[in-house]
Amino acid sequence: MRFKVISNTPLKQPPLDYLPEGAGRWFTIPGGKDAGKVMFYYDVNVGDQEPEATVVLVHGNPETSYTYRHIRDELISSGRPIRIIAMDHIGFGLSDQADFEMIDMHHSDNLLQLVRHLDLTGVTLAIHDWGGPIGVGALIEDPYRVKNLVVMNTSIFPMPKTGYTYKNYPHRLLRWSLFPRIYPAFAWGGIAATAVSNGEPQGAMSLAARATGFTVKHIFNCIPKNTPEYVWSQSFRSLANANSSMRNVKQTPRWGYGYQYTDETYGRQDNTKYYKKMQEKMPKLWRSCPAVGFFGQWDPCGKDEVIDQWHEALPKMKQATSRYPDIGHFVEEYKGVDIAKAIIKLNFSRTARSFEH
């Protein structure tokens, strides 16, 4: 059965497995810059009894909640009494289109409003990519709501300048932060399809060929429906969504340091204080939280120096970290089953276990 899309997203026909049947919800954002916009989320309870765990899955850019489908489906298959919530940020997936160039702190404000609306507590907060600063930035305002953390190729800390950075990844001449400066917005969906579905290390020529192929398919709207690449690309048929997504990428060379830019609607934007607040408060408030980490290490957010920063802030993650040298940034696309099993252990195992690989 097709889910009725009521927002103004370009993604009018999501794949049948985009969300569990009957779980789709719409949240009208009450305040802030996106007041009145409609945010999509799904909310599913596994089993017939009262949920014993609540998992909130926060996506990044240029993905959607669909990137968590493998984790979600494994959690559902487990039969454990779990409540699973995942949203599409404004400008992504099934939510309303963006109308200004949004970055992490703007999405965080929307997420906090959703969390408070649902009055979530005992949350296992699962974060990936910009979902890290979005999720942490939101929940650090109500830190008592968080019980566990699941960290996947993300950071809220200043990116160490050794090894991979977004100034030399995935290749020195094809660095991620360069793409939004050389690509037109109408073609951005092709880059999104390439990025999210490109999970393994490869040479510059093969990566360029892949990006070119998806870009052409995106422009001519011939990426097959019911494929992940269609989902990643279709949101960005909206030029407003594409420009907003591209603004996120433009800040990658300054990951965790703070970033300033001028938006046509709202003027000067600066998330420097936003990052400093997270960096100061999280180690104090959540230091004792159980946490697990999953990192594809062909990626700046998966390098050892970033993992060490997480371990310093969340000591319980030290013995619960999985590293995958031959997987890239979107680790949840490839290790979703393992991540789901770790979430189950966090919430239902009585004994501490090691996830170190």
pLDDT tens for each residue of the chain, 357 residues long:
578 999 999 999 999 999 999 999 999 999 999 999 999 999 999 988 999 999 999 999 999 999 999 999 999 999 999 999 999 999 999 999 999 999 999 999 999 999 999 999 999 999 999 999 999 999 999 999 999 999 999 999 999 999 999 999 988 878 888 899 999 999 999 999 999 987 677 677 777 888 899 999 999 999 999 899 999 999 999 999 999 999 999 999 999 999 999 999 999 999 999 999 999 999 999 999 999 999 999 999 999 999 999 999 999 999 999 999 999 999 999 999 999 999 999 999 864 344 444
Q: Which long-range contacts (CB under 8 A, 24 or more apart) does 28-33 make?
A: 29/90, 29/110, 29/113, 29/114, 30/113, 30/117, 31/113, 32/106, 32/109, 32/110, 32/113, 33/100, 33/106, 33/109, 33/266
**pLDDT (0 to 100) of residue 76:** 98
**pLDDT (0 to 100) of residue 356:** 43
Structural contact between residues 31 and 63, judged by C-beta atoms closer than 8 angstroms: no
Following DSSP, what letter does each residue of 16-63 receive, concatenated? TTSS-TT-EEEEE--SSTTTT-EEEEEEEE-SSSPPSEEEEEE--SS-
Structural contact between residues 179 and 245, judged by C-beta atoms closer than 8 angstroms: no
Q: What pTM was computed for the model?
A: 0.96
Could you give the CA distance from residue 185 to residue 125 in angstroms, rounded to a whole number? 32
Q: Widest CA span of the chain, in angstroms? A: 54
**pLDDT (0 to 100) of residue 1:** 54
Which DSSP category does 355 fall into? -
Side chain identity, residue 310: W
Please, is 194 exposed, middle or buried when counting C-beta atoms within 10 Å of its C-beta (0-12, 13-18, 19+)?
buried
Tokens of 336: 């979703």
Could you give the CA distance from residue 52 to residue 70 in angstroms, rounded to a whole number? 21
Torsion angle of the four alpha carbons 125, 152, 114, 91, in this order, in degrees rounded to the nearest 10: 180
User: Which residues is 126 bridged to in the sheet?
Assistant: 57, 150
SS3 content of the chain, % helix, strand, coil (to 5): 40, 15, 40
Name, in order, each residue with C-beta under 8 angstroms of 200's C-beta and a sequence gap of 6 or more: 298, 326, 327, 328
In CATH, the number for domain 24-169+259-348 is 3.40.50.1820
Name, in order, each residue with C-beta under 8 angstroms of 312's C-beta and a sequence gap of 6 or more: 283
**pLDDT (0 to 100) of residue 170:** 86
**pLDDT (0 to 100) of residue 207:** 79
**pLDDT (0 to 100) of residue 350:** 63
